[in-house]
């Protein structure tokens, strides 16, 4: 099960991307197939995906990183992230649960949660997250991380 390829998503991948995002239970907002890279197994089945979103404030967000359960811990997410990071200019932001910070740190992302210069999208996300966390009994906190050239 270790053979897979990474490619730019096509319109034919749209439904499978939405299904995978739903299956892993991450934010289903802003899923535009045109921004996605997908990981495909040797039969052409989507086993992973990820995108970079452009927000109104001009910030770019690494987002929607998802991998099918059977393919986890085999480097699929790592390959998608490396390719997205290579394709997009800095700074590149992301939000994640605090427990995932060490995973993203291996790519050079650093904690920016308390930073005074957060783009507005992330300031709003941090303000709204406690409401979501209470409703969903979420453990941990929302972290904002950034990858920059500095």
The stretches in the chain having pLDDT less than 50 are none
Do you find a cis peptide bond into 91, omega within 30 degrees of 0? yes
pTM of the model: 0.90
pLDDT tens sequence across 114-133: 777 899 888 888 887 766 66
Contact 145, 98 (CB under 8 A): no
Spatial strand order of the sheet with 142-147 comes to 4-8, 36-41, 46-54, 60-67, 92-97, 142-147, 110-111
For 114, the token pair is: 């308390």
Q: Which fold has domain 1-88?
A: Aminopeptidase (3.40.630)
Torsion of CA 119, 121, 124, 126, to 10 degrees: -80
For 42, the token pair is: 């040797």
DSSP state of 68: -
* Residue 136 confidence (pLDDT): 60
Nearest to 65 by CA among 36, 91, 89: 36
DSSP secondary structure string for all residues of 109-120: -EE-TT-TT--H
* Residue 146 confidence (pLDDT): 96
β-strand partners of 96: 143
Break the chain into its structural domains and give their ranges.
1-88, 89-150
């Amino acid at each position: 099960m270790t053979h897979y390829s990474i490619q730019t998503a096509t319109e034919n991948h749209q439904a499978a991307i939405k299904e995978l995002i739903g299956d892993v239970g991450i934010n289903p907002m802003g899923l535009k197939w045109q921004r996605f890279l997908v990981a495909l197994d040797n039969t052409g089945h989507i086993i992973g995906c990820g995108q970079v979103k452009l927000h109104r404030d001009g910030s770019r967000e690494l987002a929607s990183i998802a991998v099918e359960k059977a393919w986890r811990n085999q480097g699929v997410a790592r390959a998608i992230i490396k390719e997205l990071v290579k394709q997009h200019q800095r700074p590149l932001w992301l939000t994640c649960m605090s427990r995932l910070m060490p995973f993203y740190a291996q790519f050079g992302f650093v904690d920016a949660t308390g930073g005074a210069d957060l783009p507005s999208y992330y300031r709003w996300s941090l303000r709204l997250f406690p409401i979501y966390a209470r409703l969903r009994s979420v453990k941990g906190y929302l972290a904002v991380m950034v990858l920059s050239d500095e």
